[in-house]
C-alpha cells in the first residue's frame, strides 16, 4: 500500500472537517491529507514524525540499511521484531520500561497485522519525502518531538523551522518517540494551545 492509498483509506472514515494528528508514520498520513485535501484539514499536527524518515545527504534520519534490516527481521521473527521496535519508542526516558509495557499492551491488543502490511509501512518510511510539498500547506501546523527520540532525530527541527516558517515546533524534554505516553501533561498542553482554522 502506498502513502496515497493509505491516506485515501483513512480519509473515507474521517469527518469532512477535522484537526489531523498523526504519530510517526501517521504523521505522513496526516501530512498527505493536508497536501491533497487541505479543505478538510483545520489544522495539522505531527507527533514524533518526519517528512522524510530515511537519512539522505544533508538530512538526518534512519539509515536505509536499518529500515531494510527491520524488514528482514519481520520475516525472520515477527513477534520479537515488533517487541524490539516498540521498546525503541520509549528508549531513554525515565519511565521507559513502564511506557514500553503500556505501548505494547495497547498495540498488541489490536489484531496483528500481516508482515506484508508492516513491510509496506517500512517501505513508506524508506521512500517518502514530503519536505517540499509541505511548504505549501496553509493551515495551523504544529510539530511535536521528543528530545530523546532515537527514530526522529531532533536535528531535523531547526531544518524544518527554516523550511516551513509557517509551522510551529516544540521539543518535549526527556521524551522519546511516544511523548503522549511518557509526558501526557506537556503533550496535552501543546495541543490545547493550537488554534485550528475555520
Arithmetic mean of pLDDT, 155-174: 97
Return the minimum-mean-pLDDT range out of 52-66, 107-121, 127-141: 107-121
The contacts of residue 138 (CB under 8 Å, 6+ apart) are 38, 166
Sheet containing strand 41-47, strands side by side: 18-23, 41-47, 141-146, 168-172
Q: Using CA atoms, how far apart are residues 91 and 171, in angstroms rounded to an integer?
A: 16
Q: What pLDDT is stored for residue 198 in this prediction?
A: 59
Q: Is there a catalytic annotation at residue 177?
A: yes
CA angle 115, 91, 103 (to 5 degrees): 55
Q: Name the class of domain 3-192.
A: alpha beta
The pTM of the full predicted model, rounded to 2 decimals, is: 0.93
Q: Which residue is catalytic, options 50, 54, 177, 183? A: 177
Q: Is there a catalytic annotation at residue 166?
A: no
Q: What pLDDT is stored for residue 133 in this prediction?
A: 98
Q: Which secondary-structure segment (H or E) carries 174?
A: none
- Is beta strand 141-146 parallel, antiparallel or unpaired with respect to 41-47? parallel
Q: What is the pLDDT of residues 11-39, one digit of tens each?
A: 999 999 999 999 999 999 999 999 999 99
Q: What pLDDT is stored for residue 89 in this prediction?
A: 84
Q: Which residue is catalytic, options 24, 49, 167, 182? A: 24
Q: Which residue is catalytic, options 31, 49, 50, 149? A: 149
Taking 70 as the threshold, does the pLDDT of residue 163 lie above it? yes
Amino acid at each position: 500500500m502506498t502513502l496515497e492509498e493509505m491516506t485515501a483509506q483513512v480519509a473515507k472514515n474521517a469527518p469532512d472537517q477535522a484537526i489531523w494528528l498523526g504519530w510517526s508514520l501517521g504523521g505522513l498520513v496526516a501530512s498527505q491529507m493536508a497536501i491533497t485535501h487541505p479543505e478538510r484539514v483545520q489544522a495539522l499536527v505531527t507527533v514524533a514524525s518526519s517528512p522524510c524518515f530515511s537519512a539522505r545527504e544533508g538530512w538526518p534520519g534512519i539509515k536505509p540499511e536499518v529500515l531494510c534490516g527491520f524488514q528482514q527481521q519481520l520475516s525472520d521473527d515477527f513477534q520479537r521484531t515488533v517487541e524490539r521496535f516498540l521498546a525503541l519508542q520509549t528508549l531513554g526516558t525515565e519511565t521507559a520500561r513502564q511506557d514500553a509495557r503500556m505501548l505494547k499492551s495497547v498495540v498488541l491488543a489490536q489484531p496483528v497485522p500481516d508482515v506484508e502490511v508492516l513491510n509496506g509501512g517500512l517501505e513508506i518510511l524508506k521512500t517518502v519525502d514530503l519536505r517540499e510539498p509541505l511548504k505549501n500547506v496553509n493551515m495551523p501546523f504544529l510539530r511535536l518531538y521528543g528530545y530523546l527520540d532515537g527514530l526522529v532525530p531532533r536535528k531535523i527541527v531547526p531544518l524544518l523551522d527554516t523550511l516551513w516558517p509557517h509551522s510551529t515546533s516544540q521539543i518535549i524534554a526527556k521524551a522519546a518517540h511516544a511523548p503522549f505516553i511518557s509526558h501526557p501533561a506537556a503533550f496535552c498542553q501543546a495541543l490545547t494551545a493550537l488554534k485550528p482554522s475555520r
